[in-house]
Amino acid sequence: MIKPFRITYALLIFLLISSFVVSQSNKTIKIQAEAAVNDKDWYSAAVLYGKLVARDSSVVSVNYGYADASRLNFDLDIAFYWYTKVIAADNGKKFPLAFYWKAQILQYKGNYKEAKKWYAKFSKSRKAKAAKYSYYVTKAGIQAEACDLAQVLMSNPVSYKIVHLDTAINSKVSEYAAFEKDSMLYFSSLRVIPKKYADEEEKPLLNKIYSSDTKMAKWQRVKILDTNINATYIHNANICFNDDYTQMIISRCRNKNATEYTCDLYESKFVSKKWQPMSKLGEPINLKGTSSSMPSYANINDSTFLFFTSTRGGGSGGYDIWYAYKKPDGSFDKPRNAGPKVNSPDDDITPWYVNDQKLLYFSSTYHKGLGGFDIFRSTYDKGTFGEPSNAGYPINSSYNDIYHSVNKEGTFAYLSSNRVGSFFEHKLNCCNDIYRYQLEPKAKPQVVDTVKLIQGQLKVLVPLTLYFHNDEPDAKTKAITTKKNYKKAYEDYIVLKPDYLKEYGSNLEKEEKLSAQERIEDFFADSVDVGMHELEKFALLLEQVLAKNEKVKITMKGYCSPLASTDYNVNLAKRRISSLRNYFNEYKGGMFVKYVDNPDSTQGRITYEDVEIGELPISRVSDDLKDKKNSVYSPFAARERKIQIIAVSFGE
């Protein structure tokens, strides 16, 4: 008979060995996952991190790695779930970018109000103040404003009908870079090549250029262009032609890593009724150590130019848009950068110039849009490109919208997008499809009315909530007006944040105290500071709409916490609304005063409407004057000491 202690000892040894094996296995998988990340192989990284979290989901750094890899692999639902888990465990202490990426995914999904909150939460987090996050803080501010703009654009759509090309053109992988020549559509794709068209020796799945003719309004069978155009063992994409279709330029690209490419531009000429073998363009178009791609020809003031994107120096960062004059002898002048209004710190890509309208179309993730890459327009005038404007919804979606092109006749425009409805095999929104919409020949593009755009942005900001310290402004008075304006009340309030942290965290153990103080930090960042920022934005938009002679009615409502009699609270609410009126009256030296109840119907006018209450009807706030921790300094009490702009309307 084996004694029990021997069984126990053997079991212990077995468990220790098993634990060691699992530990070593996890370590190996993590090394492999990190190697995949270094190679930007997001698919492999996501698979490997997925194995780790399946074994142990308590390691926050691994959860964050899984979220990042899933996001970059465009598994957005998985990424969102794990960023949320990271935030719950970490709250921005080690991984503040989890806030930012959660906001970006919400923006992709079209949940703009929530996205804006999370962008603000990231910007206000302590860690975000570090220099290494400065780019993200700047972009978070831009994207928070973009979330407001997106709601307005979607409420004021342009009337183009966006048509998803059928499966004769689009497949379950990506199709992009459409160029219509006569009745022929050229495009690029990563699709599997049918054997009868494929080079038998070629095995890698590569981007190639295809064409399809249209007969009786139907796309015909897709054909792959021959090996004069599509070289083997290399990616070929982004075909474009000059005005008389005697010259063609494409991109040829090699993998830099699993997801990035280094590209050069190649040219072919149509001689003796056939396209000649491709030849690589020399300097200054292709530069050693840089990437040049996405070409398109343009005619500017009767001169031929080549637009393209490049990572060369002298730009704003990432891929910039460049354009070069093509000389009569076929060589190119030194490329010019499209300038800081077009190019941004992010990638600015897929340029397309419409000659007769002097409009440059391009895509960017930095300028304010609906999410992902949006399509923008910039007007060319006297050698410079102007401030870009968003092409609007539904040309743009909350996902990626790129490769906008217009046929020579000006009757159809094309774009590529991974918006909802695009075909996919495994992952929703993984792949780009080609879409198009019909144009009126030579007609100017539709734009959103500027006044409607401003009005929409003002409406998005309401309800706009502003907060006050207890019994402020002007404590211990029954006056219904104040000389303070809200900005001064706000500045006085935020100075008191250390008092709130101290008082609300008093008499608590370490963990409870930290939790309480986090709630105070969140309140000031997410509510007090955001309210002031929104008010400043509201005033700027109000200035713009009044300058266009619009009539604006602003409806305000007051609230306060239950520390005094109802009559006292009603007067306090009036005093707080008075501080907001003072803010408007003193804005930029009093520029709004002339508009208040202005009787001149040809000019702008402001009308104020007040809706007042005292104590909120249902409250969880202590009304004990001696319990200041809960009745004054708690975030619950602080949230009730507020006023709101609850509505803004326009017209007579």
For 264-306, write each residue's pLDDT tens digit: 999 999 998 899 999 999 999 999 999 999 999 999 999 999 9
CATH code matching the domain that covers 4-155, chosen among 3.40.50.300, 1.20.1080.10, 3.30.870.10, 1.25.40.10: 1.25.40.10
Q: Where do the H-state alpha helices sit in 156-298?
A: none
Read off the pLDDT band of 384 (50, 70, 90). very high
Give the DSSP per-residue string, 366-408. Answer: SSS-SSSSEEEEEEEETTEE---EE--TTTS-SS-EEEEEE-T
* 50/4: higher pLDDT: 50
Instruction: State the pLDDT at residue 22.
Output: 52
Query: What gap in Å lies between CA 337 and CA 314, rounded to an integer?
Result: 8
Digit-coded pLDDT (tens) for 623-633: 666 778 888 99
Share of the chain above pLDDT 90, in %: 77
Digit-coded pLDDT (tens) for 510-538: 889 989 999 999 999 999 999 999 999 99
- Cβ 96 vs Cβ 125: under 8 Å: yes
Domain residue ranges of the chain, discontinuous segments joined by +:
4-155, 163-448, 453-650
Instruction: State the pLDDT at residue 192.
Output: 72
- Cβ 538 vs Cβ 552: under 8 Å: no
- Where is average pLDDT lowest: 211-220, 495-504, 584-593? 211-220
* 192/544: higher pLDDT: 544
- Cβ 326 vs Cβ 306: under 8 Å: yes
Instruction: State the pLDDT at residue 4.
Output: 46
Read off the pLDDT band of 200 (50, 70, 90). very low
CATH code matching the domain that covers 163-448, chosen among 3.20.20.10, 3.40.50.300, 2.115.10.20, 2.170.120.12: 2.115.10.20
Instruction: State the pLDDT at residue 176.
Output: 97
Instruction: State the pLDDT at residue 618.
Output: 55
Query: What gap in Å lies between CA 605 and CA 617, rounded to an integer?
Result: 34
Strand partners of residue 267: 249, 279
Query: What gap in Å lies between CA 311 and CA 319, rounded to an integer?
Result: 5
Read off the pLDDT band of 1 (50, 70, 90). very low
Mean pLDDT of 33-44: 94
Instruction: State the pLDDT at residue 303.
Output: 95
Instruction: State the pLDDT at residue 216.
Output: 63
pLDDT over 60 (residue 615): no
pLDDT over 90 (residue 441): no
Spacing of C-alpha 280 from chain mean position: 36
Query: What gap in Å lies between CA 249 and CA 623, rounded to an integer?
Result: 75
Mean pLDDT of 22-48: 88
Digit-coded pLDDT (tens) for 389-425: 999 999 999 999 999 999 999 999 999 999 998 888 7
Instruction: State the pLDDT at residue 205.
Output: 82
Instruction: State the pLDDT at residue 627.
Output: 77
In terms of CATH architecture, what is 453-650?
2-Layer Sandwich (3.30)
- Beta 184-189 vs 175-181: how paired, if at all? antiparallel
- Cβ 374 vs Cβ 395: under 8 Å: no
* 368/201: higher pLDDT: 368
Digit-coded pLDDT (tens) for 360-370: 999 999 999 99
Instruction: State the pLDDT at residue 447.
Output: 83
Mean pLDDT of 596-613: 90
Mean pLDDT of 326-346: 96
pLDDT over 90 (residue 104): yes
Instruction: State the pLDDT at residue 8.
Output: 64
Q: Which of 309, 289, 300 is nearest to 249 (CA)?
A: 309
* 587/615: higher pLDDT: 587
Read off the pLDDT band of 564 (50, 70, 90). low
Mean pLDDT of 474-498: 96
Share of the chain above pLDDT 70, in %: 91
The structure tokens listed for 603 are 């000019």
Read off the pLDDT band of 651 (50, 70, 90). confident
- In the numeric block, the tokens 């190996």 are attached to 28
Digit-coded pLDDT (tens) for 48-62: 999 999 999 999 999
- Where is average pLDDT lowest: 57-66, 173-182, 438-447? 438-447
Read off the pLDDT band of 220 (50, 70, 90). confident
For the entire predicted model, the pTM comes to 0.88
Instruction: State the pLDDT at residue 616.
Output: 63
